[in-house]
Structure 1
Amino acid sequence: MTSPNTSIEDVPLNNFHRLLTARSGGGSFVDGYVLSIIGIAMMQITSALNLSEFWQGMIAASALMGVFFGGFIGGWLTDRLGRKKVYFVGPTLFIVCSLAQFWVESAPVLFALRFIIGLAVGIEYPVATSLLVEFLPKKQRGPRLAALTILWFAGAAFAYVVGTSILNVGGDDAWRYALASASVIGLLLLLLRVGTPESARWLLSKGREADAERVIKHVYGQHYSLRDLPEEPDQKKTSFLDLLHSGYGKRLFFVSVFWSCSIIPVFAVYAFAPKVLLALNLKGEWASYGSMIITMLFVVGCVLATRLINTIGRRCMLIHSFLWSGLALLGLATFSHSNEVLVLFLFGAYAVFIGGAQVLQLVYPNELFPTEIRAFAVGIGTSLSRVGAAVGTYLVPVSLQTLGIGNTMYVAAVVTFIGLMAAWAMAPETRSLNLRDAAALSS
């Protein structure tokens, strides 16, 4: 019996796809939780461990440092060992290190544990997105990958609710319970991922045709086979450096530039939103409500982009996202000392319009590279973008003090417009392509 479809990328969304989305999306949720919970508990930690300013900064940045190395390691391991094995590394590290934080008694130990948690986050990006994209129908790739960004914000928001509740009732050691609470979510994620099959595409790239065939029949039904999987160019004997020289280096450059340019202003501005709003003359209730509204609008922007990604396409969305968010930052720079309503409007416009670039951070890297290097490419993009985010976050207080709020916003606008130029010059359109054609250099 032959399959009713010409390709497994044309099949309707089924329960397996939905479950796999939850399994991979759960990783983004946990990432948002573990990276945000430290900020909520930091004041109690500082007092309990008598942290110096040096160690406050190091512990706050430790996970971000770990993400940098985790992206490289996770991408390499995922392409070498397979998606399935590495799929359980992140949750395991989340459980062990989050639980270990409960008994921590010194700044160096807490730094080490947070660094390893950052490694786990960095590992999650390439393995979770690669496995998901290699099973999804092409019409669902964009929206489902984009939804992972929304789940990150959901995890961050949940951390705020849980962390604040624990601190309110837990006494002097409440911070220990807050940090350890991530182990519960990590355990749930680990259990949810039990039974996940290996990627048929990865198995095929390693010459394991029989295993790939079994996975396809298990997931899609007995009437499907390898004949229904669009073949990719044979990359089994090609090194990563050869692939870069053959043309994928340009794509990796594009991914790294647009990802960094979309995340640097967001991390920098969002991390210091109250401070930035204060510099923009928003005080008292304006600053409190402004921070809350802007946080909500970041989520709104990501939700809108997720719904529109298949309608207007990847390239168009990225260009417009950088254009209009850059103009909003330019407006903030020009009218930095204007009235509160205009400032909030421009800040909110930036939060909404940057949503397109935000959700494409996980879409483009997974579509533009073949199975052999897909996870590694995502890992490199993750790592390099976090370097920019760390630098931007570090420089914001310095810039506000030395350059002033107007010039700081001008710098953020310039970074965003660099992303716009990269998008205009290099962003391809992959909306209607299967993974083989999207990853092909001729596309």
Structure 2
Amino acid sequence: MIGAATFFDGYTVIAIAYAMPVLAKEWSLTPGQIGLILSAGYLGQLFGALFFGWLAERIGRMKVLTFTILLFVAMDVACLFASGAVAMMAFRFIQGIGTGGEVPVASAYVNELIGSKKRGRFFLLYEVMFLLGLVGAGIIGYFLVPVYGWKVMFAVGLVPAALLIPLRFFLFESPRWLASKGRVEEADRIVSRLEQSVIKSGKTLAPVVEMPMAARPNAAQGWRELFKGMYFKRSLVIWAMWFGSYMVANGLITWLPTLYRQHFHLPLETSLAYGFMTSAAGVVAAVICALLIDKVGRRRWYIGALFCAAIPLGLLAATGATTPLQILMMAGLGYAMLQTVTFSLYLYSAELFPTRLRALGTGIGSAWLRLGSAMGPLVVGVAISGAGVHYVFGTFAIVLLITGCITALFAIETKGRVLEELSP
């Protein structure tokens, strides 16, 4: 059920990219206006990640998830009636607040329900739902936008309202969060129900693993604890990874369809198809990552992916990025490798923080995602207007090399370790 919400979150985030080739022509948008519209949603997501991450630590995961889903669906309706660039920017900004709050809170919730042995594989297969949302947007864009226009992208986004709100009543609050708030009896009832379902299916429960109780820090610290002790270093590292990887990934994926259309003057169908192929390559790479990351380890995978993704982007900068096919091949390869980092950082973030800080730490971390995602399209718009396409890829390659160095120097390994052991 949470995966279904995450699917439509991914769809909503990228829908504007497939509407933009038509919008840009219909509204006679400049490259600067295009960049602002694409970035508005990500700026909203920054505020949503910060606020709803904080709120989820106080009122619970499920209440926040329900509200954020309603918010981004409501703004889908508003986008259908946008009459110009300013209105679309405003609606996408508010919609971003909802999508920015849903993903980090959902990630904290799902992480808190998974055991340590195969946490990476299980969680990342769930996260693939977000990437499938990106691909779903590409399919809708390719087949329907040329026929029905840009509004069809937002009309399809109304589906989650019909599906997810009734399903909300079948979900339960996170037992880890309940226990952290002293509501132990409620947490025990939920866990007992889950255990009984395992026994009824004919399986045997694993032995209980007892963890020593760590001294609970002063609850009044709140977000300040992220800047103290071992969590300070972890916060800085994950922020750098969020910012660098998403600046490049979303800078590429949101601009490529419009780049093919306006810079290389490809037909609309071809531009949308190339954008879809890049998203699909990211999904394939992400599934491979999900199946292997528990064996390879988080830190080793991230270092390799960041450095390897910089290579094809650097080659595009060096060769001039002169043909759309060249960009499709090289940018698609770089994006696919980078996608294994971006989609799995919610797993890594949730592993770095304790239950009392998990939604907040993940939310603040993903706020840097939003800032990076907002800067990516702006960098592309400015570079194309003033310098040239190849400078975009050179800038992105440098960002990835810097992010890879930070990861290699400061990231820790988390695979196979219980959450309470990692983060007391």
TM-score, reference length from structure 1: 0.82
8 Å CA contact retained: 1:297, 1:348: yes
Task: Verify the 8 A CA contact 2:75 2:92 in the aligned structure 1.
Answer: yes
Q: Distance in 1 between matches of 2:333 and 2:21?
A: 32
1:305 equivalent in structure 2: 289
Greater RCO, 1 or 2 (C-alpha within 8 Å, sep 6+): 2
1:185 to 139, 145, 160: 160
Query: 1:253-274 CA distances to partner (integer Å, 9 max, x unpaired)?
Result: 1111011111111122222325
Aligned to 1:63: 41
Aligned CA RMSD, in angstroms, stands at 3.4
Distance 2:352 2:78 in 1: 39
Partner residue in 2 for 1:318: 302
Decide whether aligned partners of structure 1 residues 163 and 185 sit closer, same or farther in structure 2, where only a CA change above 3 A counts: farther
Query: Aligned residue for 2:349?
Result: 365
Q: Structure 1 residue 392: deviation in Å?
A: 2.1
Check the 8 A contact 1:369/1:439 in 2, yes or no.
yes
Match of 1:40 in 2: 18
* Residues 1:229 and 1:42: Cα distance change in structure 2 (over 3 Å): farther
1:256 matched to 2:243: no
Q: CA deviation at 1:35?
A: 2.1
- Supply the distance in 2 between the matched residues of 1:28 and 1:244 (Cα, whole angstroms): 29
Q: Which residue of 1 aligns with 2:410?
A: 426
The question of 1:26 aligning with 2:4 is answered yes
Give distance in 2, aligned partners of 1:100 and 1:376: 29
Contact 1:321 1:357 in 2 (8 A): yes
Is the CA contact 1:236–1:372 (under 8 Å) kept in the aligned structure 2?
Answer: no
CA distance in 2, matches of 1:393, 1:216: 44
Relative to structure 1, the CA distance from residue 282 to residue 142 in structure 2 (aligned partners, 3 Å threshold; closer, same or farther) is farther
2:202 corresponding residue in structure 1: none
Cα distance, 1:30 vs structure 2: 0.9
Number of residue pairs matched by the alignment:
414
Cα distance, 1:84 vs. partner?
Answer: 1.9
2:44–2:94 Cα contact (<8 Å) kept: yes
| Fraction of identical pairs, as percent | 26
Letter in 2 for 1:64: Y
Q: Could you tell me which residue of structure 2 aligns to residue 76 of structure 1?
A: 54
Alpha-carbon distance in 2 for matches of 1:180, 1:275? 21
In 2: Cα distance, 1:282 partner to 1:210 partner: 63
Per-residue CA deviations over 1:16-61 (Å, capped at 9, x if unaligned) read xxxxxxx22222211122223333344666788x686576654443
Q: 2:35–2:381: 8 Å Cα contact kept in structure 1?
A: no
Distance 2:266 2:88 in 1: 35
Please tell me whether residue 237 in structure 1 is matched to residue 218 in structure 2: yes
Counterpart residue identity of residue 218, structure 2: K
1:203-262 CA distance string (max 9 Å, x none): 111111212211211222399899757466343624131452222111111111011111
Q: Is this contact kept in 1: 2:135–2:280, CA < 8 A?
A: no
Query: 2:154 and 2:226 mapped to 1: Cα distance?
Result: 42
- More displaced 10-residue stretch of structure 1: 58-67 or 378-387: 58-67
In structure 1, the gaps of 5 or more residues are 1-22
Q: Is the 8 A contact 2:124 2:344 kept in 1?
A: yes
Please state how far the C-alpha of 1:79 moved relative to its aligned partner: 0.8
After superposition, the C-alpha distances for 1:73-111 in whole angstroms (9 at most, x for unaligned) are: 110011111112112112221333323444555665544
- Cα distance in 1 for residues equivalent to 2:165 and 2:120: 25
> Which whole-Å CA distance do the structure 1 matches of 2:285 and 2:14 have between them?
20
Residue 94 in structure 1 maps to residue 72 in structure 2:
yes
Say whether the 8 Å CA contact 2:38–2:377 is kept in structure 1. Answer: no
TM-score, normalised to structure 2's length? 0.85
Q: How many Å separate the matches in 1 of 2:113 and 2:214?
A: 18
Matched residue, 2:419: 435
Quick one: distance in 1 between partners of 2:249 and 2:213?
36
Question: What is the SS of the residue equivalent to 2:158?
Answer: helix
Tell whether the 8 Å contact from 1:310 to 1:431 is kept in structure 2 after alignment: yes
Q: How big is the shift at 1:276? A: 6.1
Asked if 2 retains the 8 angstrom alpha-carbon contact of 1:232 and 1:370, the reply is: no
Q: Closer, same or farther in 2 for the Cα pair 1:281/1:336, shift >3 Å?
A: farther
1:145 to 113, 116, 123: 123
The answer (yes or no) to whether the contact 1:133–1:145 under 8 Å persists in 2 is: yes
Structure 1 residues 329 and 277, CA gap change in structure 2 (3 angstroms): farther
CA 1:283 to 1:45, structure 2 compared with 1: closer, same or farther past 3 Å? closer
Is 2:195 the partner of 1:220?
yes
- Structure-to-structure mapping, 1:272-351, within 5 angstroms: 272-273=255-256, 291-336=275-320, 345-351=329-335
> For the residues of structure 1 that align with 2:35 and 2:230, how far apart are their CA atoms?
40
1:9 match: none
Q: 1:198 aligns with which of 173, 180, 189?
A: 173
Decide which of 408, 419, 430 is 2:392's aligned counterpart.
408
- In the alignment, residue 404 of structure 1 is paired with which amino acid? G
Q: 1:232 to 1:27 in 2, by over 3 A?
A: farther
Partner of residue 353, structure 1: 337
Confirm or deny: 8 A CA contact 1:101 1:180 kept in the other structure: no
Report the AA paired with residue 9 of structure 2.
Answer: D
Stretch of structure 1 that moved more, 27-36 or 37-46: 37-46
**Gapped regions of structure 2 (runs ≥ 5):** 200-204
Using the TM superposition, give the Cα deviation of residue 72 of structure 1 relative to its aligned residue in structure 2, in angstroms.
0.2
The alignment partner of 1:241 has SS state of helix
Q: Give the 3-state SS of the residue equivalent to 1:138 in structure 2.
A: coil
Q: Deviations along 1:346-403, whole A, 9 cap, x unmatched?
A: 3343133223312321111010000111111111111112112211210113223444
Partner SS for 1:370: coil
Structure-1 residue corresponding to 2:112: 134
SS in 1 for 2:353: coil
Distance 1:357 1:178 in 2: 27
1:125 maps to 2:103: yes
1:326–1:413 contact (8 Å) kept in structure 2: yes
